[in-house]
C-alpha cells in the first residue's frame, strides 16, 4: 500500500500525523486557546512571569488574539539561571515526573521539569519527527545522544519507544563499540549529534568498515548547528539520509521541530511551540521570510511554561509552503546562534563560516576549534584542526600546503588572517558529544 501523510507504511491511521496537516484556521484556534491557558498558568503560578506582566500592566485576559503575543515580555536563559533550580516551575514537585539539566559548563546549570503530560507531548512531537523522516516501528535504532541529565538521549529515546521502534540506548562514547553494534545488531537507523557521527565515520574507516555496506538508511541529527555541507559530507560518506531535528532544553528538548523527507527546513510543532522571529537589536517582530532571532513560547507545557523565550538561534520562518503538504510552518535550518558569534577586529564571525571554509579546502570535515586571544592589543584567531589519515602526508611540504589551504580558505571567507594549527586526532575537547567550537581567552587571559 502506498504511504500517504495520514497513514503509516501498513496503511494504519496515525492520529499524530494528522496534527502536522491541520487546516490553518483550526491550528490557529488551537494555538490561541493553548496560548491563553499557558499565559494564565504562568501568571498564576510563576512569580517571575507575573511580576513582568504586572510591570507592563498586562493581564492574561488581555491576550485576545495570537497577535497579542507581542505584548508579553521576553524570557531568556538568564531567567532560568536566576531562578535556579525550580523557580520557573508552575506545578507542585509531586506532579513533576522528570528533571533534566544543562551541562553547566558556564556557572550553574539550568534545570527543567516535566509532568507526565509533558512527557507524553515530548514523545509525541519526536514521534512526529520520526514519522516525517521515514522511521517506522520496524527500525532498529542506535541512539548515541548522551543519556542522563542532557535532554538529547532520553528525549529521543521516548519518541522512539512511542513509535514502537527497537531502541538501542547506547549513549555517547566508546566509538569502536558503537561501530561494532551498528554492524552486529543490524542497525537500520541512528540518532545523535552530527559532530560525533563524523567521528564514528572516521573511526569506522580506520577499522576498515565501510558504513555504506551496513543496513543504516537514515539518521536524525541535532543538538548543535550543522551546515548543509556537513549533511552532504555525511550522506556521501555513508549513503544514509541525514535529517535535522531541532530543540532546546528550555522549551522541551529535541522535538521542538524536525525536518520532513523534503529536507528543506525544520517544521515546528506549532500546536505545542509557537514560533516568532524578532530583530535581536530592536526586539521588534519580523515578518515571515526575514532573518532574525527565533523566539518560542510553549503552548502546552505544564511543569514549566515558557513565554517568548529568546533562543539566540538565527533563522527565518519560511514564507512558502513545503511540498510535503504539512501546514505547520518551517524555519530555515539553524546555521548560527547569535551567542556563537564573535567579533574579531571589527568583523562578525560565526563558527559555521569556518566550517564551510574547511570543507571547501579539503572536502573533508575535520574536528576543529577556534581560539580567540589578544596579544599586544590585537585580537588573534587560531583555528586548531585535527588531522585525519586522509589528510596526512609523509611530506613536510605537503603538510605545510595543507595548512596554507585551510588558512587561505578561511581568509577568503572571513577577510581576516588567521593562524591554522594542525593537531592530532582527539586532542581537542568534546563535551557530551557536542562540539565546543569557540574558546575566547580575550577577557580572562589576554592582556587588555
**Is 395 exposed, middle or buried (CB count within 10 Å of its CB: 0-12, 13-18, 19+)?**
exposed
Among 210, 400, 401, 412, binds other proteins (CB under 8 A): 400
The stretch near other proteins (CB under 8 A) out of 126-134, 214-222, 333-341, 395-403 is 395-403
Asked if 448 is part of the footprint of other proteins (rule: CB under 8 A), the reply reads no
Q: Smallest distance, Å, CB 329 to other proteins?
A: 44
One DSSP character per residue, 261-307 reads TT-SSEEE-TTTEEEEEE-TTT--B--TT--EEEEEEESS-SSS---
Residue 168's SS3 state is strand
Measured from the CB atom, the residue of 25 and 424 that comes closer to other proteins is 424
Asked if 209 is part of the footprint of other proteins (rule: CB under 8 A), the reply reads no
Q: Smallest distance, Å, CB 209 to other proteins?
A: 13
Identify the CA nearest to 106 among candidates 339, 385, 276, 427: 339
Residues 406-445 that bind other proteins (CB under 8 A): 421-427
Helix (H) or strand (E) holding 121: helix 116-132
Q: Smallest distance, Å, CB 427 to other proteins?
A: 6
Measured from the CB atom, the residue of 196 and 221 that comes closer to other proteins is 196
Number of residues engaging other proteins in binding (CB under 8 A) = 18
Asked if 206 is part of the footprint of other proteins (rule: CB under 8 A), the reply reads yes
Asked if 343 is part of the footprint of other proteins (rule: CB under 8 A), the reply reads no
Asked if 392 is part of the footprint of other proteins (rule: CB under 8 A), the reply reads yes
Asked if 364 is part of the footprint of other proteins (rule: CB under 8 A), the reply reads no
Q: What mask of x and - would describe binding to other proteins in positions 294 to 333, judged by CB under 8 A?
A: ----------------------------------------
Among 25, 94, 394, 448, binds other proteins (CB under 8 A): 394
**Is 134 exposed, middle or buried (CB count within 10 Å of its CB: 0-12, 13-18, 19+)?**
middle
Residue 119 and residue 123: Cα distance in Å, rounded? 6
Residue 448 and residue 445: Cα distance in Å, rounded? 9
Identify the CA nearest to 270 among candidates 249, 293, 251: 251
Evaluate the omega torsion of the peptide bond into residue 85 and state whether it is cis, within 30 degrees of 0: yes
Q: Smallest distance, Å, CB 388 to other proteins?
A: 7
Contact 317, 329 (CB under 8 A): yes
Residues at the interface with other proteins (CB under 8 A): 206, 387-389, 392-396, 399-400, 421-427
Amino acid at each position: 500500500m502506498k504511504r500517504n501523510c495520514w497513514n503509516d507504511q501498513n496503511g494504519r491511521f496515525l492520529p499524530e500525523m494528522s496534527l502536522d496537516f491541520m487546516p490553518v484556521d483550526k491550528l490557529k484556534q488551537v494555538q490561541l486557546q493553548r496560548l491563553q491557558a499557558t499565559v494564565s498558568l504562568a501568571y498564576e503560578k510563576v512569580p517571575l512571569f507575573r511580576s513582568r506582566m504586572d510591570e507592563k500592566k498586562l493581564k492574561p485576559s488581555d491576550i485576545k488574539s495570537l497577535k497579542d503575543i507581542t505584548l508579553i515580555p521576553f524570557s531568556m536563559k538568564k531567567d532560568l539561571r536566576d531562578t535556579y533550580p525550580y523557580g520557573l516551575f508552575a506545578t507542585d514537585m509531586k506532579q513533576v515526573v522528570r528533571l533534566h539539566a544543562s551541562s553547566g559548563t558556564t556557572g550553574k546549570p539550568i534545570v527543567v521539569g516535566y509532568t507526565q503530560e509533558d512527557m507524553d507531548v515530548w514523545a509525541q512531537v519526536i514521534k512526529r519527527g520520526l514519522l516525517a523522516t521515514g522511521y517506522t516501528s520496524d527500525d532498529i535504532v542506535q541512539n548515541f545522544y548522551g543519556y542522563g541529565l542532557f535532554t538529547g538521549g532520553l528525549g529521543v529515546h521516548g519518541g522512539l519507544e512511542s513509535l514502537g521502534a527497537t531502541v538501542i540506548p547506547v549513549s555517547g562514547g566508546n566509538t569502536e563499540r558503537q561501530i561494532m553494534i551498528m554492524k552486529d545488531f543490524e542497525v537500520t537507523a541512528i540518532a545523535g549529534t552530527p559532530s560525533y557521527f563524523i567521528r564514528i565515520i572516521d573511526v569506522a574507516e580506520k577499522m576498515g568498515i565501510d558504513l555504506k555496506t551496513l543496513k543504516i538508511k537514515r539518521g536524525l541529527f541535532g543538538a548543535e548547528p550543522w551546515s548543509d555541507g556537513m549533511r552532504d559530507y555525511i550522506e556521501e560518506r555513508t549513503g544514509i539520509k541525514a535529517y535535522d531535528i531541532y530543540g532546546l532544553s528550555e522549551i522541551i528538548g529535541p522535538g521542538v521541530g524536525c525536518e520532513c523527507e523534503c529536507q528543506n527546513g525544520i517544521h515546528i510543532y506549532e500546536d505545542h511551540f509557537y514560533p516568532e522571529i524578532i530583530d535581536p537589536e530592536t526586539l521588534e517582530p519580523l515578518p515571515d521570510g526575514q532573518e532574525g532571532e527565533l523566539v518560542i513560547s510553549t503552548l502546552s507545557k505544564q511543569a514549566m511554561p515558557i513565554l517568548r523565550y529568546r533562543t539566540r538561534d538565527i533563522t527565518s520562518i519560511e514564507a512558502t509552503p513545503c511540498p510535503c503538504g504539512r501546514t505547520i510552518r518551517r524555519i530555515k535550518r539553524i546555521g548560527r546562534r547569535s551567542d556563537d558569534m564573535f567579533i574579531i577586529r571589527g568583523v562578525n564571525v560565526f563558527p559555521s563560516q569556518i566550517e564551510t571554509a574547511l570543507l571547501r579546502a579539503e572536502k573533508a570535515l575535520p574536528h576543529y576549534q577556534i581560539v580567540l586571544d589578544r596579544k599586544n592589543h590585537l585580537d588573534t584567531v587560531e583555528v586548531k584542526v585535527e588531522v585525519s589519515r586522509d589528510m596526512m602526508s609523509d611530506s613536510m611540504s605537503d603538510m605545510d600546503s595543507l595548512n596554507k589551504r585551510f588558512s587561505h580558505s578561511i581568509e577568503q571567507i572571513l577577510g581576516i588572517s588567521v593562524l591554522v594549527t594542525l593537531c592530532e586526532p582527539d586532542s581537542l575537547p568534546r563535551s557530551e558529544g557536542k562540539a565546543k567550537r569557540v574558546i575566547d581567552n580575550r577577557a580572562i587571559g589576554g592582556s587588555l
